[in-house]
């Protein structure tokens, strides 16, 4: 019994330390956004600002078209999420339920593509988008992310756990594949689809490198790139950067708080299925 207690105690201490390490930057970001410039750069660092500088937020909106960034990011994240979700759904359905020539080879090719890191193909993608004349367009921002092999595989494991006889039963009941997808598969896989949608939205919201490459007009920038507006040759306006960063993270944080149960379930389920 005693041994167990010690073990639990050690576990709690370690978890607490890691939790602080993880959470501290967030807290500091929020607090820093409310400090004066001097406070953000002071040594030793200030933790709690003397006076909360709410005016920082007003300055953020004044100095850069932040509302526009929000709108752009929202459009890009939503379109990416909806289209990639739809594509992954249809792709995963085909891989699980349909029989066609070359299925195994296709599966293998896609699996090996999964191992190519995104950064490795970012310049060829850039070339393609540039030649198509899609720089500084929404289409250029979303096009490379409208399909995702990873999400497709994730859904495939989800759909694979649904008994094959359900599909057969629906065939005999007179349902077309389209009926099956919308009336049976989607309602039965809500959890998986939700996880994919959320992950896709979050990663699109947080994207940095790609929008930086394919946009150079201020009106087409996304939130994360907008943060650079607060740095100039004269140095960074740290307090404004932190305030803007808080604004950027806020929607995602809200999403996490609302849907944390589903997010954790989705991840755990994936792990268990291996």
Partner 1 sequence: MVCIFMIDEQFVQVKNLRKVYDNGHEALKDVSFSVKKGDLVCLLGPSGCGKTTMLNMLAGLLDPTSGDILFNGKSVVKVAPKDRQIGYVFQNYALYPHMTVLQNVMFPLTVGKNKRSKAEAEKVAKKYMEITQITELANQKPGNLSGGQQQRVAIARALVQEPQILLMDEPLSNLDARLRLKIREEIRSLVKRVGITTLFVTHDQEEALSIGDKIILFNNGVIQQDDVGQNFYLEPNNYFVANFVGNPVIDNFAVKIADGKISGSDFEIPLAALDQDRIKGELTPGEYTLSVRPENILPSEQGHFTAKISDVELIGRERILKFDHDGIQARSLVNLETTIQRGDQVQLSMRLDRIFLFTKEGTRVY
Stretch near partner 1 under the rule CB under 8 A, chosen from 29-37, 66-74, 176-184, 257-265: 176-184
Of 62 and 168, nearer to partner 1 (C-beta) is: 168
Q: Indicate whether 184 belongs to the interface with partner 1 (CB under 8 A).
A: yes
- Phi, psi for 231 (deg, rounded to 5): -120, 135
> Which residue in the set 29, 188, 252, 263 belongs to the binding site for partner 1 (CB under 8 A)?
188
Alpha carbon distance 46, 211 (integer Å): 34
Shortest Cβ 187–partner 1 spacing (Å) = 5
Of 173 and 218, nearer to partner 1 (C-beta) is: 173
Stretch near partner 1 under the rule CB under 8 A, chosen from 85-93, 104-112, 168-176, 191-199: 168-176
Spacing of C-alpha 10 from chain mean position: 33
Stretch near partner 1 under the rule CB under 8 A, chosen from 49-57, 114-122, 123-131, 173-181: 173-181
Of 107 and 216, nearer to partner 1 (C-beta) is: 107
- CA dist 249 to 82, 145, 220, 242, Å? 21, 21, 19, 10
Of 176 and 219, nearer to partner 1 (C-beta) is: 176
Shortest Cβ 116–partner 1 spacing (Å) = 31
| Secondary element (H or E) of residue 232 | strand 231-232
Q: Transcribe 8-75 into DSSP letters.
A: HHHHHHHHHHHHHHHHHHHHHHHHHTTS-HHHHH-SSPPSS-SS--THHHHHHHHHS-HHHHHHHHHH
Shortest Cβ 104–partner 1 spacing (Å) = 11
Shortest Cβ 107–partner 1 spacing (Å) = 16
- CA dist 270 to 69, 150, 274, Å? 33, 12, 6
Contact 222, 72 (CB under 8 A): yes
> Which residues sit at the interface with partner 1, rule CB under 8 A?
163, 165-166, 168-176, 179, 183-184, 187-188
């Amino acid at each position: 019994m005693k041994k167990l207690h010690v073990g639990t105690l050690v576990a709690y201490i370690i978890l607490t330390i890691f939790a602080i390490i993880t959470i501290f930057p967030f807290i500091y970001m929020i607090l820093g956004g409310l400090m004066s410039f001097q406070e953000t750069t002071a040594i030793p660092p200030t933790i709690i600002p003397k006076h909360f500088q709410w005016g920082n937020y007003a300055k953020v909106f004044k100095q850069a078209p932040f509302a526009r960034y929000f709108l752009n990011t929202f459009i890009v994240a939503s379109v990416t999420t909806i289209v990639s979700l739809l594509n992954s759904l249809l792709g995963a359905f085909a891989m699980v339920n349909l029989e066609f020539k070359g299925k195994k080879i296709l599966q293998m090719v896609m699996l090996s593509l999964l191992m190519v890191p995104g950064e490795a193909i970012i310049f060829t993608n850039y070339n393609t988008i540039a030649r198509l004349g899609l720089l500084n367009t929404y289409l250029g921002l979303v096009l490379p992310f409208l399909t995702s092999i990873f999400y497709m595989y994730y859904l495939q494991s989800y759909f694979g756990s649904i008994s094959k006889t359900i599909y057969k039963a629906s065939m005999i009941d007179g349902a077309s594949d389209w009926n099956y997808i919308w009336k049976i598969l989607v309602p039965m896989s809500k959890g998986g689809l939700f996880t994919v949608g959320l992950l896709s939205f979050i990663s699109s919201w947080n994207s940095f490198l790609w929008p930086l490459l394919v946009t150079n007009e201020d009106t087409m920038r996304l939130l994360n790139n907008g943060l650079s507006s607060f740095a100039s040759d004269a140095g960074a306006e740290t307090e404004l950067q932190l305030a803007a960063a808080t604004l950027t993270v806020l929607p995602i944080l809200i999403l996490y708080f609302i849907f944390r149960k589903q997010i954790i379930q989705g991840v755990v389920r994936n792990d268990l299925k291996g």
